[in-house]
Chain A
Amino acid sequence: MSTLPDRADVVVIGAGIVGNSVVAHLADKGWRSIVQVDQGPLPDPGGSTGHASNFIFPVDHSKEITQLTVDSQRQYEAMGVQTTCGGIELARTPQRMEELRRRMASATAWGVDAELLSRREVTKHLPFINDEVILGGFYTPSASVVDSLHAGTLLRQHALDAGALTVSPYTAVTGIDTDAGHITGVHTDRGTLATEAVVVACGVWSPVVARMAGGRIPLVPVVHQLIDVGPIPEFEATGTGVAYPMIRDMDTLMYERQDGADMEIGSYAHRPIVHNPEDIPSIEEAALSPTQLPFTEQDFEPQMADALELMPEVLNAPGAGVRHAINGLLSYTADGSPLLGETPEVAGLWSAAAVWIKEGPAVGRMLAQWMTDGATEVDSHSTDIARLYPHQRTRAFVRARAEEGFNKIYGIVHPGEQWESGRDIRRSPFHERTAAAGAVYYEAGGWERPHWYESNRELVAEYGVANRAHEWDRRWWSPIITAEHLALRHNAGMIDLTAFAQFEVAGPGALDYLQGMVVAQLDRPVGRIVYTPVLDPNGGFRSDLTIVRLDADRFRIITGGSDGARDKKWFSDHLPVDGSATLTDVSSAVCTVGVWGPRARDVVAKLAAEDISHEAFPFGAARWVTLGSVDALLVRISYVGDLGWEIHAPFESGGRLWDDLAEAGRPQGLVPVGAGVYGATGRMEKGYRLMGHELEAEYDPVEAGLALPRVKQQDFIGKDAYLAAREGEPAATLCTLTVESHRSEHGIDRFPLGHEPILDRNGRPIVDAKGRRSFVTSAGSGPSLGKHLLMSYLPPEHAVEGNRLQVEYMGEHYPVKVARVGRTPLFDPEDTRMKS
């Protein structure tokens, strides 16, 4: 038993797959004073790793998760703890077959070998399957089973061999000290350590441990039921642990895999059973382990029937019985994604939680990079714990979303699908008005944001907009979006943009501080606006946003709702230590409505007390203007590429502002317009990029076409990498493509929705010099162009205007054309509408 040192550079709490991976990678990154504690014994301290089914299917619709999984497989393989047996996802329904075709597209887009199997091909791999109940399968030859406990031992040993680690099992953390929001020490029942960094890798216990420091790791333990049936003579005869590919019976939300002589059957089909982290039994009170709770058989009843139907012979083998059955606890989050990175509440308190076996080692690597270099190779925008707004960190919210999300784990989830629970938490002051206009709300940063308005349905006929033929293509979509787009381009539209996150930065050091944060030159006259990339130290995209100079030493940062919480942490973390600049989150104080279109000036001028003519209020300017009885900040900019303003007003005056604008705009044909236009059709016609889609850590501003003409003198984060990127030729350039024929083999028109692979003329994947595959970063209509638009990074040989390529959608290839290389808009390339 090790004795604890008095201090450590970092204390890693937890010795499951995640904590073990973190200590190994921190050691590789040069950390030499790591202490790892766990309340339980080694090698299985009793967390979720100990009862995990340990299988890995690499393909996920999320690029980030697939990358983490493939990296983990590479690491497991190098440790010699991986058995590659392949895996087959089965379809019992035509809808699932379609989903498997979409799966296939994700496999191609992210570079994982896979193939679709006919029913007969499935039975060649799985002779014991009742093929009468299936239609086909999706086969991933690289799917594998790993020994995560042995991997953990090897990973710890790796850090021990480097002389970097002290491991202390049977050591419970009893408290975490902080001083002015920074970690200072950890108390355990075996002693106290001084430290400035703590990694919480405690799985289902993470919320309890984080709270000791005043941080929140918002996850809940949910039950995943699994049983073992055996001995099965057919399996016993193979003489190995895993001889057959693993099975995911997707339509019944279950998996089955051979484990020696047994078949392990797991389910995500049962009712969501959500626990409180505080109520997990102690080690001494747990018969098996604290995360293996007594099996509740009544919840598993339909699953038994489904499993028997799929593989009656093996499961009915004489002598085969249910040898093991548990309600296993695993960590689940509001959006199903991991919680990684430093918590927004406490500096030095790092989260490595809600991670599956398939991501563990890669998460260790990613976190070690983050803690050491301040940035990660794999983009982290969908796993960063700082992505969550305060309401998204509450227990009530996480519980509700976990209950709703649990059955989606194997579900068919449409890319546009909205949550039903945890809604109506953030409402703009326009909400009553937009609801009265029949707004269909989508969530943006937790805000209820109109996506389109049913009150505009008559515009569909007026503009002759066709509906989409296929149900999948029109699910979470409406032809009203296209009609609203055309109405905005024809007259004017008003868009609720209150979901923006807005920060005010003030103080004598404000300019210098912000200069160091962003690429663009901010030393511009008061009343100027600047659109700028924000880079991470590696030169990849962290964010893109607008900064308004309100005064010599006062700036307003306006950023998207989806990434506002991350941006807030990033900007807050870098504030000058001397206090010469402050950052105030004014998101909840300000409401925003955008008014754009050729008649926007006529509408706004009716209310404006000041001159807002083009001469008095040019493009790129920001002014305080009195609109009726409301003083508002008008920003002449447009993400839809038309004449008009973002109008930022006091939150409490929003209702009045909306009514006055609507009234003033009635004769001009002003209509409310949803984010379906703002976030997709409008911006894509104009070639505008979207954070988390085109813009992410793996691509730099040169590739994105957002490099600025000049490089400012001042230093800023990511400058060196930015300069280097400007020197060389980009490995890929962001292009806009048009779909040239939509007609499917079934004779109906199909519309790709995003994330599909772009293929060359011969149907082969396109890979750039950095090994990145070309895929659709965004897809959407371009109503004013009469084309469906796709954005994709293409390597130089393909990034040629007029070049013909293909896009794979639902198992078919459709011809596409490179319509634009770089950022020049397809619609109104001179920006005359916006700048007149």
Chain B
Amino acid sequence: MCVKRAPAPGAKIPLTADGSAIDTRNLGFTMSPHEECAVEEAVRLVEAHGGSATVMTLGPPEAAEQMRDGIATGADHGVLVETDRTDWDPQATAAALGEAIAQLQQEGARFDLVLFGNESADAAHEQVSVRVAHRLGLPIVNGIKGLETSDGHVALRRDTAAGSERYEVPLPAAVAVKKGLNLPRYPALKGRMRARKATVRTIAALHHPGGLTSHGLRYPPDETTETEILGRGADAAPRVVELLGEEGLT
């Protein structure tokens, strides 16, 4: 599973004074909800079929925390493709991850599935999964909310507005999954402890310049929202029903 360390959502992310980066002093970090589902799916597959699950990321030394989060919920190994650089675009990221996976394969590892979250929690470029798959010569399907393996194949489901699309892909394959695929478990206390003691393998990241350059950060214009008081107590009920109806929820 390839995941990305990103600031925990739910709050305004402060920027440094010069607008070149985010101010991380009081921030918590996490992986995206899509990636949590990827980790959960991998752990379930290993529980059902055996084998092992490895969680991997490209990031600074602190990103080992997300590897430990993965191990705490059941992944067997963590690999940190380590870098101090901050100028990683999807192209460069995919190249470094692809090379790291290739290195593990050369050492004898065999991956049936390379799982991604559909997009990262911060940049959401939706590119890395496709680029890594391309680099490794694997078939890739993204936007997946259903996954079942059978002998040598994986059956995938992608929901659309009108229904769903189904794919049957030979293994090995790459899959980018979406939130809703499963309900990720909370890490057990024992899992947390195992993760603290686990060794996270570090591979130096090789940087190949990509095509995107970040010039700075700024806040989007304030979204102004209108609050309409529908009424108080029971008087509000008819209008609430009406609105729910407009949203197609009744």
Interface residues of A (CB under 8 A from B): 229, 279-282, 284-288, 293-295, 297-298, 301, 304-305, 307-308, 315-316, 319-323
Given contacts A281-B26, A319-B185, 7 further A-B contacts (CB under 8 A): A285-B11, A285-B26, A297-B68, A297-B196, A320-B189, A321-B186, A323-B186
In the complex, which residue of chain A has the Cβ closest to the Cβ of B65?
A297
Interface residues of B (CB under 8 A from A): 8-14, 25-29, 65, 68, 185-193, 196
A322 near B187 with CB under 8 A, answer: yes
> Taking the nearest CB of chain B, how far is it from the CB of A264, in angstroms?
13
In the complex, which residue of chain A has the Cβ closest to the Cβ of B29?
A294
B8 near A316 with CB under 8 A, answer: no
A287 near B189 with CB under 8 A, answer: no
Contact partner of B193 (CB less than 8 A), chosen from A287, A294, A305, is A305
Contact partner of A315 (CB less than 8 A), chosen from B26, B185, B189, is B189
> Taking the nearest CB of chain B, how far is it from the CB of A824, in angstroms?
63
A285 near B188 with CB under 8 A, answer: no
In the complex, which residue of chain B has the Cβ closest to the Cβ of A316?
B190
When A284-B12, A287-B9, A288-B10 are in contact, do A304 and B26 touch as well, CB less than 8 Å?
A: no
B189 near A308 with CB under 8 A, answer: yes
In the complex, which residue of chain B has the Cβ closest to the Cβ of A305?
B193
B185 near A294 with CB under 8 A, answer: no
> Taking the nearest CB of chain A, how far is it from the CB of B218, in angstroms?
16
Q: What separation, in Å, do the CA atoms of A750 and B9 have in the docked complex? A: 59
B25 near A321 with CB under 8 A, answer: no
Q: What separation, in Å, do the CA atoms of A68 and B29 have in the docked complex? A: 40
24 pairs from A and B in contact (CB 8 Å cutoff)? A279-B25, A281-B14, A281-B26, A282-B12, A285-B12, A285-B13, A285-B26, A286-B11, A286-B26, A293-B26, A297-B65, A297-B196, A298-B196, A301-B193, A301-B196, A304-B189, A304-B193, A307-B189, A308-B190, A316-B189, A316-B190, A321-B189, A322-B192, A323-B186
Most B CB atoms within 10 A — which of A285, A293, A295? A285
Q: Which residues of A contact B12 (CB under 8 A)?
A: 282, 284-285
The 9 closest A-B pairs by CB, nearest first: A321-B186, A294-B28, A287-B10, A287-B11, A281-B26, A284-B12, A301-B196, A285-B12, A315-B189
In the complex, which residue of chain B has the Cβ closest to the Cβ of A327?
B28
Q: What separation, in Å, do the CA atoms of A229 and B72 have in the docked complex? A: 14
> Taking the nearest CB of chain A, how far is it from the CB of B66, in angstroms?
12
In the complex, which residue of chain A has the Cβ closest to the Cβ of B7?
A287
- Determine chain B's interface SS by DSSP, over half rule: loop
Q: Which residues of A contact B8 (CB under 8 A)?
A: 287, 294
When A287-B9, A301-B196 are in contact, do A295 and B28 touch as well, CB less than 8 Å?
A: yes
Q: Which residues of B contact A308 (CB under 8 A)?
A: 189-190, 193
Q: What separation, in Å, do the CA atoms of A320 and B10 have in the docked complex? A: 25
Q: Which residues of A contact B65 (CB under 8 A)?
A: 297
A322 near B11 with CB under 8 A, answer: no
In the complex, which residue of chain B has the Cβ closest to the Cβ of A282?
B12
Q: What separation, in Å, do the CA atoms of A726 and B243 have in the docked complex? A: 76
Could you count the A-B residue pairs with CB atoms below 8 Å apart for me: how many are there? 67
> Taking the nearest CB of chain A, how far is it from the CB of B237, in angstroms?
24
Q: Which residues of A contact B9 (CB under 8 A)?
A: 287
Q: Which residues of A contact B187 (CB under 8 A)?
A: 321-322
A294 near B27 with CB under 8 A, answer: yes
In the complex, which residue of chain A has the Cβ closest to the Cβ of B30?
A294
A322 near B196 with CB under 8 A, answer: no
A304 near B192 with CB under 8 A, answer: yes
When A285-B11, A287-B8, A294-B8 are in contact, do A320 and B188 touch as well, CB less than 8 Å?
A: yes
B188 near A284 with CB under 8 A, answer: no
Q: Which residues of A contact B186 (CB under 8 A)?
A: 320-323
Most A CB atoms within 10 A — which of B26, B65, B193? B26
In the complex, which residue of chain B has the Cβ closest to the Cβ of A280?
B26
Most A CB atoms within 10 A — which of B13, B27, B186? B186
> Taking the nearest CB of chain A, how far is it from the CB of B71, in angstroms?
12
Q: What separation, in Å, do the CA atoms of A282 and B14 have in the docked complex? A: 10
B192 near A297 with CB under 8 A, answer: yes
In the complex, which residue of chain B has the Cβ closest to the Cβ of A319?
B185
> Taking the nearest CB of chain B, how far is it from the CB of A318, in angstroms?
9
Q: Which residues of B contact A282 (CB under 8 A)?
A: 12
Q: What separation, in Å, do the CA atoms of A282 and B26 have in the docked complex? A: 10
Q: What separation, in Å, do the CA atoms of A308 and B189 have in the docked complex? A: 8
> Taking the nearest CB of chain B, how far is it from the CB of A311, in angstroms?
10
When A287-B28, A298-B196, A301-B196 are in contact, do A321 and B188 touch as well, CB less than 8 Å?
A: yes
Q: What separation, in Å, do the CA atoms of A307 and B193 have in the docked complex? A: 11
Q: What separation, in Å, do the CA atoms of A294 and B196 have in the docked complex? A: 17
Q: What separation, in Å, do the CA atoms of A670 and B10 have in the docked complex? A: 71
Most B CB atoms within 10 A — which of A286, A287, A319? A287
Q: Which residues of B contact A301 (CB under 8 A)?
A: 193, 196
Q: What separation, in Å, do the CA atoms of A294 and B25 have in the docked complex? A: 10
Q: What separation, in Å, do the CA atoms of A315 and B188 have in the docked complex? A: 8
Q: Which residues of A contact B188 (CB under 8 A)?
A: 316, 320-322
In the complex, which residue of chain A has the Cβ closest to the Cβ of B197?
A301
Q: Which residues of B contact A321 (CB under 8 A)?
A: 185-189, 191
When A294-B8, A301-B196 are in contact, do A229 and B189 touch as well, CB less than 8 Å?
A: yes
B189 near A322 with CB under 8 A, answer: yes
Q: What separation, in Å, do the CA atoms of A821 and B221 have in the docked complex? A: 78
Q: What separation, in Å, do the CA atoms of A286 and B11 have in the docked complex? A: 5
Q: Which residues of B contact A279 (CB under 8 A)?
A: 25-26
Q: Which residues of B contact A320 (CB under 8 A)?
A: 186, 188-189
Most B CB atoms within 10 A — which of A294, A305, A315, A320? A294
Q: Which residues of B contact A322 (CB under 8 A)?
A: 186-189, 192
> Taking the nearest CB of chain A, how far is it from the CB of B9, in angstroms?
7
Q: What separation, in Å, do the CA atoms of A286 and B68 have in the docked complex? A: 24
In the complex, which residue of chain A has the Cβ closest to the Cβ of B184?
A321
Q: Which residues of A contact B11 (CB under 8 A)?
A: 281, 284-287
> Taking the nearest CB of chain A, how far is it from the CB of B207, in angstroms?
28
> Taking the nearest CB of chain A, how far is it from the CB of B62, in angstroms?
11
Contact partner of B26 (CB less than 8 A), chosen from A294, A297, A307, A323, is A294
Q: What separation, in Å, do the CA atoms of A321 and B193 have in the docked complex? A: 12
In the complex, which residue of chain A has the Cβ closest to the Cβ of B12?
A284
Q: Which residues of B contact A287 (CB under 8 A)?
A: 8-11, 28
Q: What separation, in Å, do the CA atoms of A284 and B186 have in the docked complex? A: 27
Q: What separation, in Å, do the CA atoms of A199 and B119 have in the docked complex? A: 49
In the complex, which residue of chain A has the Cβ closest to the Cβ of B23?
A285
> Taking the nearest CB of chain B, how far is it from the CB of A94, in angstroms?
28
Q: Which residues of A contact B196 (CB under 8 A)?
A: 297-298, 301, 304
Q: Which residues of A contact B28 (CB under 8 A)?
A: 287, 293-295
Q: What separation, in Å, do the CA atoms of A287 and B13 have in the docked complex? A: 9
Q: What separation, in Å, do the CA atoms of A279 and B193 have in the docked complex? A: 31
Q: What separation, in Å, do the CA atoms of A321 and B185 have in the docked complex? A: 7
Q: What separation, in Å, do the CA atoms of A293 and B10 have in the docked complex? A: 13
Q: Which residues of A contact B191 (CB under 8 A)?
A: 321
Q: Which residues of A contact B68 (CB under 8 A)?
A: 297
> Taking the nearest CB of chain B, how far is it from the CB of A64, in angstroms?
35
Q: Which residues of B contact A295 (CB under 8 A)?
A: 28
Q: What separation, in Å, do the CA atoms of A158 and B28 have in the docked complex? A: 39
Q: What separation, in Å, do the CA atoms of A294 and B62 have in the docked complex? A: 14
Q: What separation, in Å, do the CA atoms of A316 and B186 have in the docked complex? A: 13
